[in-house]
Structures are given as C-alpha cells and as structure tokens.
Amino acid sequence: MKSNETTARGGIISLPAKWRFGKGRTIPMEKETWLVVGLGNPGTTYAHTRHNVGFDVTDILSRRWNAPLTKKKCKGELAEIAFEDKRVVLCQPQTFMNLSGECVAELLNWYKAPLEHLLIIYDDIDLPLSKLRVRKSGSAGTHNGMRSIVANVPGQNFPRIRVGVGAKPEGWDLADWVLSRYTTREEQDAMHEAFEAAADCVETWLRKGIDEAMQQYNHK
C-alpha cells in the first residue's frame, strides 16, 4: 500500500507514515484532539469496584481499539489513536479519584484540547445499577472525582457519561459501598452490559456528537 493511502476497520484508521508515532499508532497531528477519560482508583485493590466504572469502560475501549494504555503522561496512563477522522486520547488518571482534576487539567493543557472535546466516564450512586445517563454539561454533584475536575478546568461545559452503581444500602458507609464489588452474577452481567453500552456511547459521541449520544442512550 502506498504511504498516502488510508484504510479503515472498525473505525480505526491507518494514516500516512508521516503521522505515525507510538507503537503502531497513526495519528493525524494537525487534527484537534478528543479526550476520553475514565475515572477510578489505580491498583488491584480497587479493580472492578463500583468506583472504578470509568476504568472498566476505558478498558473495553482499549481492547476494542487495540490501544493498550501504556503511555505515561499528565499523571495518567494513556493510549493515543486515530478514530475515523479524529485524534483521540484514552486516559485513566493515576492520581486516585479525589485528585482526578490534576490529570485532566494537564491533559487539556498538553493536547490543547477545547473543553467540549473532553468526555468523562464515572460512577453514580444516584442511578439504578447499570443505568446510563449522558449529559453535555452540568455540575459535579457529590462525586469527588468530578468535583476535582470542575475545580481544575475552566468551566463545567464538557460532556459526561454516568453509569449507575446503585444506591448505598441502609447501614453502609458510603466509602465502603463505592469501593465494594458486584457480588451476584446478575449484578456482574448487568454491569458488563452497561460497560459495553457506555463504550458504544463513547463511539457514538466521537462519530455523531453529544446530542446523538444523549438521544440514543438516555432511554436505556
């Protein structure tokens, strides 16, 4: 194949060699960057807990896109890819949840991305288990990771995908609840479907914009 040809498979595009950097990745450097950030806590202690919804969804995207999160930059673990006509950065902050905004602010600054090109994925205890809610902007609510982001970036006008993890049961400490795992097969299956749907939603956002993503996924 000639160097100026492009091919596409599953939305991931192979671009000319002059745009190539990283491990087999091809990025159109003159394109604006889109940032997909999944919130969570690093380390095996927190893996697949309710608070790590964002990591679970970005793990799915990493596998779909054959884009391992091996690049360390901006206090996060990243993958840089070309998704159709967009330059996309997939990120899992390594700051721990309450300092997520430090990573996100550095990403915005490093990649010179406009705020509306930032998408955050995180857990929500106010939504029923596995329910999705997509918004183009809004407040941080009670989520400490989102509070950190809003405190560190210039405004609240960025889209987000909230994934329901269920309300705290009576008698539970909130921290213990969000750091707990899904205990039944029914819960695990429901959340796996939710993670896949959230990953689909990210791809819809990249292809068609936040309004289309809201229309398709807010009723599910």
* Domain at 34, CATH number: 3.40.50.1470
The verdict on whether 48 is a catalytic residue reads no
Average pLDDT over residues 107-116: 96
Range of the domain at 115: 7-217
- Total number of domains in the chain: 1
Residue 175: CB partners within 8 Å, gap ≥ 6? none
Residue 2 lies in a domain: no
Residue 175 counted as domain residue:
yes
- Select which of 51, 117, 143, 219 is catalytic: 51
Per-residue pLDDT reduced to its tens digit, 40-72: 999 999 999 999 999 999 999 999 999 999 999
pLDDT at residue 25 greater than cutoff 90: no
Mean pLDDT of the chain: 89
Per-residue pLDDT tens digits for 2-22: 333 333 444 544 333 333 333
pLDDT band at residue 29 under the 50/70/90 scheme: low
Q: Is the pLDDT of residue 154 over 70?
A: yes
Tell me how far apart the alpha carbons of residues 165 and 146 are, in angstroms, rounded to a whole number.
16
Spatial contact of 91 and 37, defined as CB atoms under 8 Å apart: yes
Residue 170 has pLDDT above 80, yes or no: yes
Q: Give a yes or no: residue 126 inside a domain.
A: yes
Quick count: other Cβ atoms within 10 Å of Cβ 189?
12
Two structure tokens written together for 37: 């950030």
Q: Given pLDDT bands bounded at 50, 70 and 90, which one contains residue 93?
A: very high
State the Cα angle at 189 between 187 and 194, rounded to 5°.
Answer: 90
Structural domain includes residue 1: no
